Structure 1
């Protein structure tokens, strides 16, 4: 079995903890509890004939004025940046955020996930895809369990590269 440290990063309230909770425990809660610092969860995933123990670092949400401590990035094998499809301020500067994460982590790629798909229509999501300055890898809903598994499978595959 291989152990891999992976990061979930994004602004406060975008649903990082809800995505982790849905993936690890298959649970969802409407109650919002802000993460302070970092919360680490684990789940073993079988992928590419390999057992991978993911150590998922759910990093506390930040605003533009705040920076995630560089130490959180050390030793990470992959990262997922989560934004809230229903809050424009969480995706307008996405290209700059991703570059910053790449510089801090040394990773070549960061998976981009638009969360809270359940709050918008297909037409609204289509329009958001045109505005977002980077390619969105997955549109998810932790509440409806939409594309959560796929996003974490891609994160696991990234961690093996």
Structure 2
């Protein structure tokens, strides 16, 4: 079995921890508990007939202008940038955020996930997708368990490239 360090990064309150809890424990809670620093979880996934142990680093959210310690990025095989579809401030400066992540991690490809789909109507979602300057890889809802597994499997596929 191979182990791969993967990162979840993004602004505070976008649902990084909720996505991880849904994926690892199949649980969801409405309670917001801010991550301080970094929290590491793990789960073994089967991808292309290989067992991969994902070491999932839940990096504390920022308000966008704070710097994330470079040490968190060392040795990362893949990263997922999570934003909140219902909060414009979490995706307006997405280009700058992604550039910073690429610089700190050395990773070229970053999985981009819009979370909290359950908070938007179909029309609102379409407007958000048109507004965002980068290609969104997946639209998820940790609450409704929509595309969560797919997001982490995409991360696993990136990690073994």
TM-score, normalised to structure 2's length? Answer: 0.99
Render the CA deviation track for 1:104-127: whole Å, top value 9, x for unaligned: 100010000000000001111111
Aligned mates of 2:100, 2:65 — CA distance in 1:
13
TM-score (norm 1): 0.99
1:74-113 matches, cutoff 5 A: 74-113=74-113
SS in 1 for 2:107: coil
Unmatched 5+ stretches in structure 1: none
The runs of at least 4 consecutive aligned structure 1 residues that moved more than 2 Å come to none
The superposition leaves residues 104-156 of structure 1 with CA deviations (integer Å, 9 ceiling, x where unpaired) of 10001000000000000111111111110100000000000000000000000
What are the residue-to-residue correspondences of 1:2-151 with 2, within 5 Å?
2-151=2-151
Q: Write out per-residue CA displacement over residues 36-66 of structure 1, whole angstroms, 9 at most, x where no aligned residue.
A: 0000000000101110000000000001231
Give the root-mean-square deviation of aligned CA atoms.
0.5
Contact 2:64 2:97 survives alignment (8 Å): no
- Structure 2: give runs of 5+ residues left out of the alignment: none
